[in-house]
Amino acid sequence: MSKDFVSLVGAGPGDADLLTLGALKVLHQAQALLYDALVSEDIIALAPQRCIKICVGKRGDRLSVSQDKTNELMVRLANKGLHVVRLKGGDPSMFGRVEEERQYLDRHGVAHKTLAGVTAASAAAAQFEFPLTHRGEARAVTFLTGRTKEGSIDLDDARVSDTETSLVFYMSSHNARHIEARLREAGRSAATPVVLIENAGRPHARAVTTRLDRLADEVKTADWDGPVLIAVGDAFAYARTASVATAMAAQR
Active site residues: 36, 58
Strands laid side by side in the 228-232 sheet: 140-145, 165-170, 228-232, 193-198, 206-211
The H or E element that residue 24 is part of is helix 21-29
Cα separation, 76 vs 164, in Å, equals 48
Q: Are 211 and 190 in contact (CB under 8 A)?
A: yes
Cα separation, 82 vs 72, in Å, equals 14
Phi, psi torsion values for 180, nearest 5 degrees: -55, -50
Bridge partners, residue 249, by sequence: none
Q: Which of 115, 72, 73, 123 is nearest to 96 (CA)?
A: 115
Q: Which residues of 97-117 are buried (b: 16+ CB within 10 A; e: fewer)?
A: ebeebbebbeeeebebebbbb
Compute CA distances 187 → 3, 69, 83, 191, 234, whole Å: 54, 43, 51, 11, 14
DSSP letters for 111-164 = EEEEE----HHHHHHHHTT--SSBTTTB-EEEEEES--TTS-----HHHH--TT
Q: Are 235 and 142 in contact (CB under 8 A)?
A: no
